[in-house]
Structure 1
C-alpha cells in the first residue's frame, strides 16, 4: 500500500482568472484548486519546481500529500493536472480533500512478475499488455502502489483477466460488468519454439 506522503507549501489566492494565472507562472508558481469534503473550493498557488519534481518522481496521482496554507494542513490527493501543450510544463493542478473515510477512484499501475516462470514466454511468446493501469475504488489512505499480476503458469493464447488478480483489501475495480483482460500471452509473428527446445536453451 502507498504510505509515502509529502508536504507542499502554498499561498492562498485571492484573485483568479487567466491574468492572475499568467502572473503566477511568471513568478515560478502554479495555480491550483483544492475541493471536496463538502467544503468550498480553495484557490492556492504552489511552487512550480516542487510540483514538477513530484510529478516526475512518479506516483503523483496515487500519493496523498499535505498542503500547508495559512497555518492549516490539508490532506489532498491530486486528481488532475494540465501541461502546456507546447512547452510541456505544469500550468494547473486540481486536488481533492481527503480524510480516512474518503473513497477515491484512481488509476493504479500494473506490475507483472515471474515472467521467467511463464511457459508461454519461455517458448517465445510475447506479453501483450492490454491495460497498463487499472481504475479502482478504494479508501484514500490505502491506495495501492501497483496491482501485481503473476505470470506463473500462463501459456500461449491465454489471457489474464481481472478475476485472476488478487486485489488488496477494500480495493475494487471500477468496471464490474465484465471480466476485463489485463494482458495476453501472444504468439509472435515468427512462431514459437516447442517446449523441449526452450528447455534446451535455458540449460545452456
Structure 2
C-alpha cells in the first residue's frame, strides 16, 4: 500500500432484497453492504466497471480503502467477501467491513529503500533487486503504516536482506512465519559472466586427464 489510502466511492442503495439488487446490476452497479463499527449496516451500490478494474488489479481483499458515500462520513473499510456469478465469474455482491481502531487486518505495506548512495555493494557496481516491493503484515487499524523502510547502507555484493533485519511498526508482524528475503545485491551482469567463464575454465582444467606412462619396452 503505497502513499495515501485509495478512495472507494459508492452510493446508498435504496430498497432492499433481490429486486433492488437486480435493478442495481441492470444499472451498471454492483450491490454491497457495509457493516461493523458499532453502526447499522449500510446497503450501497458500487460502479461495476470500477470494481471490476480493482478486482483484476489484485489484492482487493487485503487493501484498505477510504469509503466515500454521499451524506455519510468517510470511513476506512476492508473487503470481507466478493460474491461472483457462478458461470461468468463477475462480481455480484460485495461485503465491506468498517474498521475499529483495535481491528487487526492483513495489508500489503509498501517497502522504501534507504542507504543506496553509501552501499559498498552498489558502489562496486552491484545491482539492487527488490524481491518484495510490498510485504504483507498483520497491523492494527489505528496504526497502519504507509510504508516500511529497509537500510542497504552496509550491504555488499551477494548480500541478502531479510524481514528479520527490518524494524517493523509496533504491533505489526509478517503474515509469513519464516525469515524471507526482501532485497538483495547481486553482481553486475558483466562481472557475473566473467566469474562463470573463470569457473568453467577451472572446471575444464580439473577435468584434463593425466597420461600414465606405460612400462618400458621389453619389460
Tell me if 1:163 matches 2:164. yes
What is the CA–CA distance in structure 2 between the aligned matches of 1:110 and 1:16, rounded to whole Å? Answer: 43
What is the CA–CA distance in structure 2 between the aligned matches of 1:40 and 1:16, rounded to whole Å? Answer: 20
Larger Rg belongs to? 2
**Tell me, which stretches of 5 or more residues in structure 2 are unaligned?**
83-90, 193-219
Quote the RMSD (CA, aligned, Å): 4.0
> How high is the TM-score relative to the length of structure 1?
0.65
Whether contact under 8 Å (1:33, 1:41) holds in the other structure is: yes
Tell me if 1:10 matches 2:22. no
Match of 1:122 in 2: 123
Whether contact under 8 Å (2:78, 2:98) holds in the other structure is: no
Shift of 1:155: 0.7
Pick 1 or 2: higher relative contact order, CA cutoff 8 A, min separation 6.
1
Match of 2:135 in 1: 134
Whether contact under 8 Å (2:12, 2:42) holds in the other structure is: no
> How high is the TM-score relative to the length of structure 2?
0.61
**Tell me, which stretches of 5 or more residues in structure 1 are unaligned?**
83-89, 193-204
What is the CA–CA distance in structure 2 between the aligned matches of 1:91 and 1:128, rounded to whole Å? Answer: 39
Structure with greater strand percent:
1
What is the CA–CA distance in structure 2 between the aligned matches of 1:100 and 1:131, rounded to whole Å? Answer: 27
Whether contact under 8 Å (1:125, 1:156) holds in the other structure is: yes
Quickly say closer, same or farther: Cα 1:148–1:92, change in 2 above 3 A.
Answer: farther
What is the CA–CA distance in structure 1 between the aligned matches of 2:148 and 2:93, rounded to whole Å? Answer: 28
